[in-house]
């Protein structure tokens, strides 16, 4: 799964790189020979550009594949055939139990990761309008799967005739 830095992380890294370049520029100025301060000037320019990039950069994730990834164990599956592929470790089942965020009407769905037995809430955001999307999806909270979650996933699998998923769901052990 590709890594997308949020705005506060970009600013933090921009400031960090600015300090590194500025420190190098100062060190070069202190030890350089007269007339060789062009290296210092170049490092100062890099420091300024680092800060500008950190403040005004974007979360461009357009070249990443569209798919779902588990934030805990990093299992990833492309969106195409995610529920039909028998080797998929992710199961999207939320059409019977999604929630809607009131402030913007965003539909938030759960998915189950068979590797780590986690339920993660996600919403589709292919254009990264929120600035927090990774590979076309924004992720919210994750939790251990409960019996209710497994029952919801089982109901959805039965409705859609996902026999291979029903077999996997029978093997999922959850704490009560």
Considering the domain architecture, whether residues 103 and 24 belong to the same structural domain is answered as no
Taking only the tens place, the pLDDT of each residue in 14-39 is 788 888 888 888 888 788 766 667 77
pLDDT tens for 44-66 read 888 888 878 777 766 555 566 67
Q: Does a structural domain hold residue 74?
A: yes
Please tell me the distance from the alpha carbon of residue 122 to that of residue 32, in angstroms, as a whole number: 54
Q: How many CB atoms lie within 10 A of CB 132?
A: 16
Asked if 25 and 65 count as a contact pair (C-beta separation under 8 A), the reply is no
Residue 43 falls within a domain, yes or no?
Answer: yes
2 is a domain residue: no
- The boundaries of the domain holding residue 27 are 7-56
In a domain, 62, yes or no: no
Q: Which two tokens stand for residue 134?
A: 């990774």
Query: 2: buried, middle or exposed (CB in 10 Å: 19+, 13-18, 0-12)?
Result: exposed
Q: Within this chain, do residues 38 and 15 fall inside the same structural domain, yes or no?
A: yes
**Could you read off the pLDDT of 113-153 as tens digits, one per residue?**
999 899 999 888 777 777 777 777 888 888 999 898 899 89
Number of domains in the chain: 2
In a domain? residue 175: no
pTM above 0.75, yes or no: no
């Amino acid at each position: 799964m590709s890594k997308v830095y949020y705005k506060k992380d970009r600013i933090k890294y921009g400031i960090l790189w600015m300090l590194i370049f500025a420190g190098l520029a100062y060190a070069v100025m202190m030890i350089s020979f007269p007339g060789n301060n062009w290296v210092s000037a170049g490092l100062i320019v890099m420091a300024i550009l680092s800060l500008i990039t950190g403040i005004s950069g974007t979360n461009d994730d357009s070249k990443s594949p569209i798919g779902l990834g588990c934030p805990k164990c990093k299992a990833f599956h492309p969106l195409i055939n995610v529920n039909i592929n028998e080797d998929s470790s992710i199961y999207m089942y939320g059409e019977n139990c999604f929630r809607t965020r009131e402030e913007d009407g965003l539909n938030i769905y759960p998915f189950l990761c068979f590797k780590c037995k986690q339920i993660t809430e996600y919403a589709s955001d292919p254009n990264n309008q929120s600035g927090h999307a990774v590979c076309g999806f924004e992720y919210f909270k994750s939790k251990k799967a409960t019996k209710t979650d497994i029952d919801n996933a089982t109901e959805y699998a039965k409705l859609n005739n996902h026999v291979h998923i029903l077999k996997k769901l029978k093997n999922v052990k959850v704490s009560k």
